[in-house]
Chain A
C-alpha cells in the first residue's frame, strides 16, 4: 500500500538540495538572488508534489 515514506524521503532529498543551494552558490553580485531563487524553487516544487502525492495516497472515492 502506498505510504508516507516516499514523502519523507523526498523531503530529506529536497532539504539536502536546498542546503547545497545555500552553500555552493559562488560569491558575487547575484549571490543572494540566485540562492533565494534556488531555495524557493525547490521548496515550492516539493510542496506541490507532496500535496499531490498525499491527496492520492488513500483516496476516499473510487472512480467511475
Chain B
C-alpha cells in the first residue's frame, strides 16, 4: 500500500502467521500476545472433541477456580450490608508469567479452595444453628402454651369431666385428689405436645378423630409470630397443639399421625415445676445459641471482607488463565519436537510488535528458546480489521451493524463520520435543540474517564458509547438550524431581510414586497409567521432533499470505483459502474439540474409559467418528446429529454448482458484450454504445514512462503445470469424508490419544526401576557414544563427518530450502491476485551 499509517478507508492488511512455540514458553507467550490483543488464532484441531484436547486438565482446574470465585462473589452480594470489593486498578498485580507463575497459580488454587471450605463450613454451621434456634423457639412456645392449657384445665375441670368418656376417668379422679395440693396440677394422663403448620391443623384434628374414634382431647393455639426460614425467607405460621389420650397404642397412633402430617413433637413433662425448669433451660440455651450465631455471623463477615480485598484480582487472573488455556487448546502439539504450532491472523502492520512481544515473553520466562514466526500465503479470506480510536469507534460500529465490510473493501464508516450527522441535522435543524444535545454530549465527553470505568446501565451506556456521534450531530444541527433560521421555533433576524411588509389591505392581510436584497445566510426571517410560509418551506425542503439525496447516492456509487480498481475487476467498471452512473444521472441527475436551473431563473421576466418539475419528469417518462411550449423550462427541452431517456433505456440491457457475456466467454476459454488447473493441485492446507516443518530441519529461521491452492470461483453460468438480473432490477427500481425515500429529510424536518412551534404557542405564548407576581410564577412553571417537553419530546424522541432515519438512509440507500459487506470481524485474543465480554 505504500503508506506508513493505518487509514479508515479500507480495513487493514492481514497476514496469516505461523508460530512455532516451545512448550516451556507457551503459556507466557500466549499471555503476552493476549495482553497485546493483536492475534486471532485459528483452530488447528477442529475435529477434536473438547474433552480430548491437550490442556483439558488445566482448563478444568481454572474452571474450578472460576466457580469458587463466582461463589465468593455471590456470597458477597447476598450480604445485606455491602462488602466492598477493591477494584482491579487498585489491587496489587499477581504475576502469572515468568518462572514463579506456576507456583503463584498453585498457591492461588490452594487459597481459593481453603477459603471456600471455610466459607461453606461457616454457612453450614450458621444454618444448623438457625435450625436449632428455631426448634428451641418452638419448644419455648410449646412450653408456654401448655402451661396455659394446664392452668386453664385446673380451673375448668368440670368442663373436662363432661367432655371426656370412660378412658379419661382417671383424670377426674386424680383431679379430685390433687385438689388439696399446691397450685400445680398433675395429670396422670399421657399427652403429646408439639407444633404444626397452621394450614394443616384442621386436617390433623379430623384425621386424629377418625383414627382414634374420638378417644382424645385436643387443644391448640396460634403462635403469633411467624417463623422465617433463613435460607428462603418464607414465613410459616405454626400452631401449638396438645393432645390428651390414654393408652400406649393410642399414643403410638397419635405419634405416627403427627409425624406423617409434618408436626414436630416436643417432650413436655406433666409436672409444672419440671415444665418451668425446662422453660428456663430452653431460654438459657436460646441465649447461648443467639450469641454463637452472632459470633458466627461476625466471623463470616470478616472473612468476606478479606475476600473482597482480593476478589477482583483473582477474577482477573482466573479469567486470563482460562483464556490462555483455551487458546492453547487451539494449537497443534507436535510431540516429536515438543513445540506447539499455532496459526493466527495478524495485521501486517503489527508484525514487529508481535515479534517484540514474543521476545519479551521468552525473556520474562527465563528460557533462551525464542518462538519462531513466519508467514503463510493463503487464499483464504482474512478477517476485517479496522483500527478505530475512541472517536471513530462509534461511527464504525453503527456502519458495522449493517454488515462487516469485505476484506479491504472501501469502508463506509469513514464517510459516515460527516454524512451521518449531516443528514441527521437536516432532519433536526434547530439551533436551540442542537445546542442542547451538543452540551449533553460535551458533558459526557468531559466525564469520559470516570464513566468508562463504571458499570453504566444499558440506556445510558448506549448514549455514552455514541457521545462523539451526538457531539457532531449537535454541531451540524446548529448549522442547519441557522440555515432553516429556527431557534426554538423562532427566527433570528441577524441580517437585513429581503422583504418589506406593506400596510395591511382591506381584508387585514398584509403583503410583502421583495426589496431586491438577499438574506445571505439561511431562510429569510420574514417567512416566519407568514401565512404561506409553509408553502415556501415545503417546496424548498422537498427540493433540497432530492438534491442532497441524488448527490449522496452518486457519491456512494462512486465508491464502487476504488473497489473495482483494487480487486482488479475492470469488467465491473464497464459492465456495472458506468451504466449505473448513466442511468442514475440521466433521470435523477437531470432532475437535480432542472431544480437548480429553475431556481436560478427570474420567472417574472419570462412569458411562460414556471413548470411543475414533477409533472415534467413524469411527462418525460410517459410521453417522451412532447413538451408543451407553454410549459417548457428551456428551449430544446424535448430533444434533450428524449436523448436522456434513450440513454437510460440503453443502460438496462447493458447492465443485464455485458457482464454475463464476458464471463461466458471466459468460461469458454478455460474449457478450451482443458483442465490445466488440476495438475498444480497442491493438496490441503494441512499438508503444506508439515512440509514447512520438514523444511525446518534443513535450515532454521528461513522465511518460507508457499503457494496455497487457489480456490476456484463458482463458474456456474446460470448463477451469474440470475445474479446479474437481480442486481439490475434492484438497481433500477431502487433508484426511483431511494430518491423518493430521501424525502424523509423533508418530512422529519417539517414535523420537527411544527412540533416545536406548537409547543411554544401552546405553552409559553399563552402566558407571556400575564403580569404581576401571580403571572410571573405561572410563567415560571410553564417555562419549566416547556423546557422539559423540549428535552424529552423534541430532543430525545425526535432525536432518536432522526437518528434512525439517517441511519436507514445510510444503510439502505447509500450502502446498496457499493457495499458488499461479506466479511467477518477480527476477534483477537485480547484480555482487555475479555473484560467487556463479561
Binding site for B on A (CB under 8 A): 1-2, 4, 6, 27-33, 36-37, 40-41, 44-45, 47-49, 51-64
Contact A36/B601 with A48-B426, A52-B544 known, Cβ cut-off 8 Å: no
- Chain B residues with CB under 8 A of A47: 547-548, 551
B416-441 contacts to A (CB < 8 Å): 417-419, 422, 426
Please report the C-alpha to C-alpha distance between residue A37 and residue B267 in the assembled complex, in whole angstroms.
Answer: 88
B600 within 8 Å of A (CB atoms): yes
Contact A55/B509 with A33-B417, A45-B479, A60-B610 known, Cβ cut-off 8 Å: no
- Chain A residues with CB under 8 A of B533: 63
Is B600 a contact partner of A4 (Cβ separation < 8 A)?
yes
Chain B 339-356 per-residue mask, 1 if CB under 8 angstroms from chain A, else 0: 000000000000000000
Pick 5 A–B contacts, CB within 8 A, sort by A: A51-B543, A55-B544, A57-B602, A60-B603, A60-B610
Is A63 a contact partner of B417 (Cβ separation < 8 A)?
no
| Stretch in contact with the other chain, from B5-13, B807-815, B821-829 | B5-13
Nearest B residue to A56 by beta-carbon distance?
Answer: B524
- Chain B residues with CB under 8 A of A1: 516, 602
Binding site for A on B (CB under 8 A): 5-9, 389, 392, 414-415, 417-419, 422, 426, 479-480, 483, 498-499, 509-514, 516-524, 526-527, 530-533, 535-536, 539-540, 543-544, 547-548, 551, 596, 599-604, 610
- Chain A residues with CB under 8 A of B527: 63
Residue B523 contacts which of A29, A56, A61 (CB distance < 8 angstroms)? Answer: A56
- Chain A residues with CB under 8 A of B526: 63
Contact A32/B514 with A47-B548, A55-B544 known, Cβ cut-off 8 Å: no
A4 to B: closest C-beta gap in Å: 5
Nearest B residue to A45 by beta-carbon distance?
Answer: B479
B535 to A: closest C-beta gap in Å: 6
- Chain B residues with CB under 8 A of A52: 483, 522-523, 540, 544
Is B417 a contact partner of A62 (Cβ separation < 8 A)?
no
- Chain A residues with CB under 8 A of B551: 47
Please report the C-alpha to C-alpha distance between residue A53 and residue B475 in the assembled complex, in whole angstroms.
Answer: 21
* 10 more CB-based (< 8 A) A-B contacts, given A6-B520, A49-B521, A63-B531: A2-B517, A41-B418, A51-B548, A52-B544, A55-B599, A56-B498, A57-B599, A57-B600, A62-B512, A64-B510
Contact A64/B603 with A40-B419, A52-B483 known, Cβ cut-off 8 Å: no
Residue A62 contacts which of B514, B520, B602 (CB distance < 8 angstroms)? Answer: B514
Residue B415 contacts which of A40, A51, A53 (CB distance < 8 angstroms)? Answer: A40
Please report the C-alpha to C-alpha distance between residue A33 and residue B480 in the assembled complex, in whole angstroms.
Answer: 23
A54 to B: closest C-beta gap in Å: 4
Is B540 a contact partner of A55 (Cβ separation < 8 A)?
yes
Please report the C-alpha to C-alpha distance between residue A12 and residue B390 in the assembled complex, in whole angstroms.
Answer: 35
Contact A33/B7 with A52-B523, A57-B599, A64-B509 known, Cβ cut-off 8 Å: yes
Most buried by A among B479, B480, B551, B599: B599
Is B535 a contact partner of A44 (Cβ separation < 8 A)?
no
A44 to B: closest C-beta gap in Å: 5
- Chain A residues with CB under 8 A of B509: 64
A5 to B: closest C-beta gap in Å: 11
Is A58 a contact partner of B532 (Cβ separation < 8 A)?
no
- Chain B residues with CB under 8 A of A49: 483, 521
Q: What are the 5 A-B residue pairs with the smallest beta carbon separation, nearest first?
A: A40-B418, A32-B7, A2-B518, A54-B599, A63-B530
Please report the C-alpha to C-alpha distance between residue A4 and residue B543 in the assembled complex, in whole angstroms.
Answer: 18
- Chain A residues with CB under 8 A of B418: 36-37, 40-41, 44
Residue A58 contacts which of B479, B522, B601 (CB distance < 8 angstroms)? Answer: B601
Please report the C-alpha to C-alpha distance between residue A44 and residue B547 in the assembled complex, in whole angstroms.
Answer: 11
Contact A53/B530 with A36-B415, A36-B418 known, Cβ cut-off 8 Å: no
A42 to B: closest C-beta gap in Å: 10
Please report the C-alpha to C-alpha distance between residue A25 and residue B328 in the assembled complex, in whole angstroms.
Answer: 45
Is A54 a contact partner of B417 (Cβ separation < 8 A)?
no
B756 to A: closest C-beta gap in Å: 19
- Chain B residues with CB under 8 A of A53: 518, 520
Is A2 a contact partner of B516 (Cβ separation < 8 A)?
yes
